Amino acid sequence: MKTYLRIQTVLLILLSLVACHSVQKDDTSITSPDEKLAINFQLEEGVPMYHVLFNEDTLIKPSRLGFELKDQPALKDHFELITAEILQADQRWEQPWGENKTIRDNYKQLKIQLKETTELGRLLTIYLRAYNDGVAFRYEFPEQKNLKEFIIMDELTEFDVVGNPETWWIWADYNTYEKLYQKTSMNEASWVATPVTMKTDNNVHISLHEAALTDYAGMTLKQKKDGIYEAELTPWANDDKVRTSAPVKTPWRTIQISSSAAGLVASDLILNLNEPNKLDDTAWIQPMKYIGIWWGMHLGTETWYPGSRHGATTENAMAHIDFAAAHDIRGLVIEGWNDGWENWGAKDAFDHMTPARDFDLKKVAAYAKENGVMIIGHHETGGDIPAYEKYMEAAFKQCQELGIQAVKTGYAGGIYPRGEHHHGQFMVRHYRKVIEIAAKYQLMLDVHEPIKPTGIRRTWPNMMTREGVRGMEWNAWSDGNPASHTVTIPFTRGLGGPTDYTPGTFDLLYKNAGERVKWNAEDISQTRTHTTLAKQLANFVILYSPLQMASDLPKHYKGHPAFQFIKDFNADCDESRVLNGEVGEYITVVRRSGDDWFMGAASNEEIRAFEVKLDFLDANISYTAQIYKDADDAHWKTNPQAYTIETKEVNADTTLSIQLAAGGGQAIRFVKK
């Protein structure tokens, strides 16, 4: 079947590609297939520039391109245009998992070849693409005699966004994305991580990001003059930005564009800009729900290290396996199972092969396999990259031998060697090495403290999900995530790819957690979750992840009527639609898994009511809607656990009235009758 799909894809490409053709030098513009977007290339006194229009209005004013190099003249001016070629493609491709299994890749491309007019005569190629959902461009350094090995010290790419749009952003940081989003004018968003989302005065929505980040530094955006963003790359310890050699291509610089916030979420631009799947066999890559020995540590009722409160004991692991098997939950992550946690922060602290003294790895793995539950291995590195890489392959091999098919990695803390950053080229290379070796041993990955997602999951579909967001655990020991946070993520961080936010907390006020011991310096001892219970269910649908965690302690799920939605939820979806939404305010998403549809709707701190048409359902067929919603008196702050469950017969002609409490949500399963 895999071979057939590849042949079919190749045939589609051959049928859909319009022959490349050269154009006159002054014909340096392309439009999107629907002709609503245009990206233009121009040389202004030898300086390469691009310009983006939407519905014939300027969206990105002429913005420069180029590079500063180390110990070599810059590549930023004195260029002449050698050739310009236009290509058009329209094809469909299949992915083994994703928000949508079938993706349309429909674009026009302009390939610009430049040459310096100086004595060096160096070459630079720029690719520009226009899709219906955005535009993108990247650089290529061709093979040439006057540019071989070189170091990029500054990428001069600019984004001169028209006006001063509303902007949802987090502060740029070379090591973490775990921050709350701010909403300000663009002028106040002086240095931002990507994806960064904007809304112009005429309601055009924009997201600036990157795709296909491979052997390059992660990009942030910094306002350096006149409110214009310029690429600011994460440096090596010695301030080099990118060490490379020609021929080489950079990541794509992406601008997702939509007339609505919902349209941004539905975009496939980031995925389409990545290379096709490199794996011949993907049958072992399977989305799933999972639980974990994890939440108790964040609450402070358990510890990662051995002792009287150790969470990862053999007995506790087997009890979790029993619970998972009984409730159709396929995965179990076990944190704190291995040696080294008592040496947290020290060099060479962790051993990812030797179990803790009270944990029988072989016994637990065998018991899980016997009960149809998949153990998700946990490899916390503490940022010690040399130590992890020393025996990573042996650890992955051990996972394969034990029947462990997924691994959650972690990089909490500073990076060894000191001075390197989580988002620099050093770590981008490491993260990719982990993905490739994991694929060799047929291991799926869930990466925490990661580099941001840029669509690499298309090329390496074992890269399932990643954190890179201020997730659920912050509710356990900080002032928490406000109700607006999870209705901001889909329009910001979520535009990059799957998000392991870990929803599903039922004990929202932690009244039944047990004795809690402060362990985190940020613990304010007044913690809680800032949503209603129904919104916790809705987040399973809204916050897409092919590995979707039910985060709470099993004791809080046992006998709870609302847990039925988690049991029924299928993380392996076939198609998705965004029915409505505004950044930081509300969102409604539906996803189909087989014959069932699942809906999640959620609000920020505001009470909200709206209607949704169910025209996504199959026509002329009746469905039972199993509805989990906020009770009439529910409120995230005063009455978060009040909910009701009801059923209703519906069809594709039905319009549902959705009522959301402050900080609330609604989750629905639609089942064919």
Q: Is residue 202 in some structural domain?
A: yes
- 138 CB contacts (<8 Å, ≥6 apart)? 126, 127, 212, 249, 250, 251, 252, 253
Helical H runs in 163-218? Answer: none
pLDDT digits (tens, 9 = 90+) for 175-188: 999 999 999 999 99
pLDDT over 50 at 525, yes or no: yes
- 1 CB contacts (<8 Å, ≥6 apart)? none
pLDDT digits (tens, 9 = 90+) for 635-672: 999 999 999 999 999 999 999 999 999 999 999 999 99
- For residue 312 the two structure tokens come to 């990862």
Q: Which residues carry out catalysis?
A: 473
pLDDT digits (tens, 9 = 90+) for 568-605: 999 999 999 999 999 999 999 999 999 999 999 999 99
CA atoms of 455 and 276, how far apart (whole Å):
11
Opening angle at CA 596, ends 609 and 286, nearest 5: 115
Lowest model confidence (mean pLDDT) among 7-21, 28-42, 531-545, 619-633: 7-21
pLDDT digits (tens, 9 = 90+) for 304-322: 999 999 999 999 999 999 9
What is the pLDDT at residue 523? 75
CATH classification at residue 135: 2.70.98.10
Helix (H) or strand (E) holding 169: strand 166-169
pLDDT digits (tens, 9 = 90+) for 241-287: 999 999 999 999 999 999 999 999 999 999 999 999 999 999 999 99
pLDDT digits (tens, 9 = 90+) for 395-415: 999 999 999 999 999 999 999
Q: Is residue 157 in some structural domain?
A: yes
Q: Is residue 388 in some structural domain?
A: no
The whole-number average pLDDT for the span 609-634 is: 98
What is the pLDDT at residue 225? 80
Opening angle at CA 651, ends 566 and 588, nearest 5: 50
Q: Is residue 124 in some structural domain?
A: yes
Mean pLDDT of the chain: 95
Q: Is the separation of the CB atoms in 79 and 114 below 8 Å?
A: yes
Could you say which of 219, 250, 272 is where a domain stops? 272
Q: Is residue 442 in some structural domain?
A: no
- pLDDT above 70 covers a percentage of the chain that reads 96
Distance of CA 21 to the CA centre of its chain: 36
Number of folded domains that form the chain: 2
Cβ neighbourhood burial of 142 (10 Å; 0-12, 13-18, 19+): middle
What is the pLDDT at residue 22? 54
What is the pLDDT at residue 226? 80
CA atoms of 382 and 351, how far apart (whole Å):
11
The residue assigned the tokens 């009527």 is 561
Could you say which of 272, 303, 318 is where a domain stops? 272
pLDDT digits (tens, 9 = 90+) for 368-392: 999 999 999 999 999 999 999 999 9
Peptide bond into 450 cis (omega under 30): no
Q: What ranges make up the beta strands (E) of 381-443?
A: 406-410
- Spatial CA neighbour of 167 closest among 226, 227, 224: 227
pLDDT digits (tens, 9 = 90+) for 124-156: 999 999 999 999 999 999 999 999 999 999 999
CA atoms of 277 and 283, how far apart (whole Å):
13
Q: Is residue 385 in some structural domain?
A: no
Q: Is residue 514 in some structural domain?
A: yes
What is the pLDDT at residue 224? 87
What b-and-e string marks burial along 351-383, b requiring 16 or more CB atoms within 10 Å of the CB? ebeebbeebbbeebbebbeeeebbbbbbbbbbb
pLDDT over 90 at 58, yes or no: yes
What is the pLDDT at residue 330? 97
Q: Is the separation of the CB atoms in 340 and 381 below 8 Å?
A: no
Q: Is residue 199 in some structural domain?
A: yes
CATH classification at residue 631: 3.20.20.70
Banded pLDDT at 25 (limits 50, 70, 90): low
Could you say which of 272, 295, 313 is where a domain stops? 272
The whole-number average pLDDT for the span 224-253 is: 96
Instruction: State which residues form the domain around 602.
Output: 507-547+563-673
| Beta-sheet strand order (sheet of 149-155) | 67-69, 149-155, 242-245
What is the pLDDT at residue 3? 36
